[in-house]
Amino acid sequence: MSALADRLRGVMGLRPGTGADSTEQDSIRTRRPHDAADAADVLGGEWRDRNGRRFLIVDRKYSPGYRHGRVAVADCLPPWPRMALLAGCDGASTAAPPASDRALFVDLETTGLAGGAGTYAFLVGCGWFDGGVFHLRQFLLADFDAEAALLESFAELAADVVWLVTYNGKTFDLPLIETRFALHRMSAPFARAAHVDMLHPARRMWREDEVECRLTYLEQTLCGHEREGDVPGFEIPSRYFQYVRSGDPRPLAAVLEHNRLDIVSLAMLTARASQMLDEGPSAATTDREAFGMGRLYERAGLFDDALCCFQRPRTAEAIRAAAVLLRRLRRYEDAAACWRRLLAMRGCPASYEREAMEALAVHHEHRVRDLEAARSFAVQCLRLQGTAARQEAVKYRVARLDRKLGSRGEAGQLPGAPLF
């Protein structure tokens, strides 16, 4: 039993013959990061003391000539006048933050993906542009008791930012870091900053069918940078716990590099999207980019730019979007032309085909006053699958058109009769 006890004490970091009382365990928690190899030396950072607690800060600088694949830092420098479009702000709104280079790119590495009070952000990575140089700072939580001190230091860095930029931050990073601040009764420093979650614009502009829109995928396709030896995301929490148990910081070197690459890629992705939106519809190089930019312009109320984007691709999705927007702008004849174009497409999705026929039926009944054409489109809708409510609505429209035409006998000569 004594040998087994000594082995257990070794796993826990205790000396043989000592007890595992809470006082000694507390001393181990604060001592362990400085046993074995020093984390500051291994990870290239320096220790910071705050309120008697120590955490590690790792700083890196990327010069204007630094290249991340095909893209250089010099290609990405702010200001970016159309940042508000990426945040989903109204482009004409006075509430939208101004164009600014005061953007902070944030990415967290955490002890798990579940979120909640039990999940720590053990690594807070931040990047920002200043004077043509991209700066990157990482806050590493070497001791759980130092979390409040780390958050205070992070808050000072984030205090004056205008834009907070993340990737999937609305779902994960932002709620988690706000929870950590709240648990320490501290106010989150970016409450007044506009949040750009680049996952959503990226999905609109660059997502391919059956390909998940991961940051590493966009890094490879848009920047031409392919990672070698990158640590898998699922392995990151276990590497951190290994460090906490052993005090050996070497497994964290790959984690910090993974975090740095994510932040650099996020900054370049944001710059590319904002620059394209500033250049206008002609900046789109693919149908997907044109359609995604159109959606962002439309959301911001920049309808002329949106229409230019929608009219470039020859896809059913883009033609439908143009028709819906033209109808919204009361350009009914132009909208009807788009609906007809959609119906003429080979392989038009059934849902779009039905929507086009319903729109043309309404257009011919209420605007063109061509009741026979309206009834023809309505009858064709009945031949397409739809919900029971929609089918009943179409039948009601046909019956109304029959009454307007004067009698069913007159209507029976029209294309598509009989109905039932």
Q: What is the pLDDT of residues 62-95, one digit of tens each?
A: 999 999 999 999 999 998 888 999 998 655 444 5
Confidence of residue 10 (pLDDT cuts 50, 70, 90): very low
pLDDT at 417: 44
Is the pTM here over 0.75, yes or no? yes
345-354 contacts at long range (C-beta below 8 A, 24 or more positions apart): 345/316, 345/319, 347/316, 348/316, 349/316, 350/384, 350/385, 352/316, 352/320, 353/384, 354/381, 354/384, 354/386, 354/390
Tokens of 143: 């001791």
Q: Please report which confidence band the pLDDT of residue 17 belongs to, taking 50, 70 and 90 as the band edges.
A: very low
User: pLDDT confidence of 383, banded at 50, 70, 90?
Assistant: confident
> Where does 171-276 show beta strands of DSSP type E?
194-197
- Please give the mean pLDDT across all residues of the chain: 86
Per-domain residue ranges for the chain? 1-35, 39-279, 290-411
Q: What share of the chain is helix, strand, coil (3-state, %, to 5)?
A: 55, 15, 35
Query: Architecture of domain 290-411 in CATH?
Result: Alpha Horseshoe (1.25)
Task: Categorize the per-residue pLDDT at 31 as very low, low, confident or very high, splitting at 50, 70 and 90.
Answer: very low
- pLDDT confidence of residue 308: 97
CA distance 167 to 198: 5
pLDDT reading at 375 higher than 90: yes
Q: Is the pLDDT of residue 411 over 90?
A: no
- Average pLDDT, stretch 258-286? 96
Backbone angles phi, psi at 57, to 5 degrees: -120, 130
CA dist 394 and 375 (Å) reads 10
Give the CATH H-level superfamily of domain 39-279: Ribonuclease H-like superfamily/Ribonuclease H (3.30.420.10)
pLDDT greater than 60 at residue 223? yes
Q: Do the beta carbons of residue 370 and residue 364 sit within 8 Å?
A: yes
* pLDDT digit string, tens, across residues 105-162: 999 999 998 777 889 999 999 999 998 999 999 999 999 999 999 999 999 999 989 9
Which pLDDT band holds residue 98 (cuts at 50, 70, 90)?
A: low
| Residue among 110, 55, 101, 53 at smallest CA distance from 81 | 101
Amino acid identity at 77: L
Among 231, 45, 73, 229, smallest CA distance to 138 is for 45
CB contact at 8 A, 358 and 394: yes
* pLDDT computed for residue 95 by the predictor: 52
pLDDT greater than 70 at residue 264: yes
